[in-house]
Structure 1
Amino acid sequence: MTESNKPSLEVCLSPALLHLFDVKSSIVVIIDVLRATSTICTALHNGAARVIPVASVEECVNIGRAIGGITAGERDGKIAEGLVHGNSPFEYPREFIENKTLVLTTTNGTKLLHMAKDAVQIITGSFPNISAVCEYLVAQKQNVLLGCAAWKDRVNMEDTLFAGAVVNRIKAHFDVNCDSAIAAEALYTSAKDDIYTFMKQASHYQRLAKYGLEKDIHYCLTPDGANVLPLFKNGELVAG
């Protein structure tokens, strides 16, 4: 708690900066808008039993084989070699994913999740579940760190925009003494009237659009399409 008796709200713009924050006394929100955390909340919203995030493709294949799970993931925006499914939220409708386990590996999001393992609690956030995330964070009355997965440690637009959107919604309940949180909110405020068009200048938009994934991008930037709270417990994400 800060001197104002409100918990702190901070934003870490890249996993490379995580060591500068007090993870152990915070709830950490893992943000990987395009597309890991959007896909995680979508799978759980559509009835997945759990999502197991893993760092490597090899680990994904081995765990999937051992438990009969669905192995999925991407590297640089494409389905990773050796895996059957990718990182698109549209691959996980209820009729496919309900009551199943998704084993997922991604370029950026799963790495950050494992880096933040000492947090008070880890949840995942994206625009499709922004209301669930914000309601949970306000109710907990604990320090919050919004952790952007970024792109190979480089700050990216979409994760910063989501962090800014959360700051904008819940800042009245927190002490925001963090320049990156203020900057993220300022970016979001300038983009919020048309985030999709604003995102067209972003490197990750251009990377995914090259593969014809504009529909994915649009979904991942739209609020509350899969409003469930993924909680990280015992190495897996479950609907809270």
Structure 2
Amino acid sequence: MSKKPSLYTCLSPALLHLYDITDTVVVVIDVLRATSTIATALYNGARQIIPVDSVERCIQYGREIDCITAGERDGQIAPGLQYGNSSFEYPREFVQGRTLVLTTTNGTKLLHMALNRGAREIITGAFLNLSAVCDHLVAQKKNVILGCAGWKDRVNLEDTLFAGAVVSRIREHFHVNCDASGMARNLYELAQDDLFGFMQHNEASHYHRLMGFGLERDIRHCLTPDLANILPYYQDARLVPFAG
């Protein structure tokens, strides 16, 4: 019988250095809202998404190529960019066939950290594309790290819940010797019937942050499974739909 690949959960970018990711599929998770926006834009026909780690680089791309410059800092549209980090800003009639250049507080930072540490493969995950992520990880039969973007290196609830959803679905296919994965799965299985209510009841920090901006609709959307069930795959400095 073949040996199962391993699965680990990294709850914060500040912990990424503790994991060997050289022959691993890294799932970048930033549920509120970067990876939800990435899934939505690609599902709605965006040609590609270029993730960059600074507002300045995003603005520079806007001068150099025909693209939509987008991103946020601390939950709001970053100065100098055209659009923010809400999936509702990227309907099909707006993004189809276009290039989106995106920078966010946490998610795009983690993606570049994983690249710099030699990740074999990077995909992005959110509840909106939960099934696509799980199906891909099972099919690849490679070691996996579920990388939670958190909030400025702090652990957050929604990314942990998503990691737990993945672990809950696919753990039988992997060797899981990881307390963070077990904690995440237990949390998700407590919360799965009402993720929004769980975030609210536990006074999740990002719940309060986005509710303060009047973004309840965004939160509820980002916690709904499989509304944009596509697999964003990092290839040649761009996120594109996985072609198999």
Amino acid at match of 1:206: H
Amino acid at match of 2:156: N
Identify the residue that residue 220 of structure 2 maps to in structure 1: 218
Identify the residue that residue 17 of structure 2 maps to in structure 1: 19
1:8 to 1:126, Cα distance in 2 relative to 1, 3 A: same
1:194 to 1:132, Cα distance in 2 relative to 1, 3 A: same
- Counterpart of 1:116 in 2: which secondary structure? helix
Aligned residues of 1:4 and 1:175 also touching (Cα < 8 A): no
- Give RMSD over aligned pairs: 0.9
Q: How does 1:147-186 map to 2 (within 5 A)?
A: 147-186=147-186
Amino acid at match of 2:109: K
Partner Cα distance (1:43, 1:128) in 2 = 11
Partner Cα distance (1:105, 1:131) in 2 = 25
Cα deviation, 1:157-188, whole Å, max 9, x if unaligned, reads 00000000000000010000001000100111
- Counterpart of 2:177 in 1: which secondary structure? coil
Q: How does 1:44-63 map to 2 (within 5 A)?
A: 44-63=42-61
Identify the residue that residue 10 of structure 1 maps to in structure 2: 8
- Counterpart of 1:51 in 2: which secondary structure? strand
Identify the residue that residue 134 of structure 1 maps to in structure 2: 134
Instruction: Give the superposition deviation at 1:229.
Output: 0.2
- Counterpart of 1:225 in 2: which secondary structure? coil
Partner Cα distance (1:102, 1:209) in 2 = 26
Instruction: Give the superposition deviation at 1:68.
Output: 1.1
Instruction: Give the superposition deviation at 1:4.
Output: 7.2
Identify the residue that residue 100 of structure 2 maps to in structure 1: 102
- Counterpart of 1:86 in 2: which secondary structure? coil
Name structure 1 gaps, 5 residues minimum: none
- Counterpart of 1:24 in 2: which secondary structure? coil
Q: TM-score, normalised by structure 1?
A: 0.98
Name structure 2 gaps, 5 residues minimum: none
Partner Cα distance (2:9, 2:63) in 1 = 37
Partner Cα distance (2:33, 2:153) in 1 = 16
Identify the residue that residue 85 of structure 1 maps to in structure 2: 83
Q: In the alignment, which of 207, 210, 228 is matched to residue 209 of structure 2?
A: 207
Amino acid at match of 1:89: S
Instruction: Give the superposition deviation at 1:127.
Output: 0.1
Partner Cα distance (2:224, 2:60) in 1 = 34
Cα deviation, 1:198-228, whole Å, max 9, x if unaligned, reads 0111000000001110000001000000000
Instruction: Give the superposition deviation at 1:64.
Output: 2.0
Partner Cα distance (1:84, 1:25) in 2 = 37
Q: How many residues in Structure 1 have an aligned counterpart in Structure 2?
A: 238
Q: TM-score, normalised by structure 2?
A: 0.96
Partner Cα distance (1:165, 1:188) in 2 = 6
- Counterpart of 1:29 in 2: which secondary structure? strand
Identify the residue that residue 230 of structure 1 maps to in structure 2: 232
1:187 equivalent in alignment to 2:187: yes
